[in-house]
Amino acid sequence: MKNKILTITVTAAVLCFGQNASAITIDGAFGLGEWAGNYSSEDGVASGGYVGPGYGGQPFDVEYLGLRITNGTVYFGLQTGFNLKDGVVYSGVLYKPGDFAIDVNSDGAYDYAIDFAISSGAPVYSLYSVSAWQNSMYSQHSVADPYQYKTGTLIPAAFSGAYGSGVFANNINGGNSYVLEGSFGLSALEAYSSGPVTLHWTMSCGNDYLNVSTTPVPEPSTLLLACSGLTGFALWSARRRKKD
């Protein structure tokens, strides 16, 4: 019986605390290992430069988009062939990088925008509660495709962030890629109550895009309370069986 109680207690501890084993390093390099289970990935560049749902080849390819929310902190990351600092000129037209769009209600409407600018090799982020979006130029997306916030209210938020560029081994097509990573406190997303959160990113033309969803992992104090409850239940259940 003691061995069974120990097994149940250890299992509860593993389930509760195993989710916090890895951490996201904000360093401007999108590591697939550290983002494991918390990112969506590219479909690559196909024949004729198709990147889905549009064209343009590597300069318009969105490769990875990551979102992890743990210990009260929102971590986000992007790797793309699109030049996040200067945009991309194609056929004489300058296309610009979009904002990160966040849906906190799982209703398909994006509630927040993370706007950014890159200066002296470092990103500067701003968080907005959005009342209206400007959609990308591409009209064949099957989902709402906001590119940039149109009107919104600036939300005070303290960010950490990093920017990087280069030829990364995780780019299945080769060529230069650009990376943005950042983090801020979940409490800034006041409209969030519970459930999954979705992150979306595209550029102004919308030639390619990615979405990723995640469910926030509770803070350590909440996890400790939950684990204590599970352990207590296991002990109570074992004692009840013994009495019966």
Query: Domain extents for the chain?
Result: 2-243
- pLDDT at residue 144, as a whole number: 64
Per-residue pLDDT of 170-211, as tens digits, reads: 998 889 999 999 999 999 999 999 999 999 999 999 999 999
8 A C-beta contact, residue 102 and residue 114: yes
227 band by pLDDT with thresholds 50, 70 and 90: very low
Give pTM, 2 decimals.
Answer: 0.82
Q: What is the pLDDT of residues 1-45, one digit of tens each?
A: 434 333 333 333 333 444 444 689 999 999 999 999 999 998 889
Average of per-residue pLDDT across 164-175: 93
pLDDT of residue 9: 38
pLDDT band for position 80 (50/70/90)? very high
Query: CA-CA distance, 64 to 150, in Å (whole number)?
Result: 25
Q: Which residue has the tokens 């769009």?
A: 101
100 compared with 222, residue with greater pLDDT: 100
Residue with tokens 């549009």: 54
Burial class (CB in 10 A: 0-12, 13-18, 19+), 143: exposed
Q: What is the pLDDT of residue 22?
A: 63
pLDDT, position 233: 42
Three-state secondary-structure class, residue 101: strand
Give the pLDDT confidence score for residue 19 in this predicted structure: 45
Residue keyed to tokens 């005070």: 156
The whole-number pLDDT of residue 138 equals 78
Tens of pLDDT, residue by residue over 119-154, are 999 999 999 999 999 999 876 665 668 999 999 999
Query: Is the confidence at residue 101, as pLDDT, over 90?
Result: yes
pLDDT of residue 17: 42
Which pLDDT does position 28 carry in this prediction?
Answer: 97
Residue 236 CA from chain centroid, whole number: 40
- In whole angstroms, what is the distance from residue 149 CA to residue 135 CA? 9
CA distance 3 to 152: 57
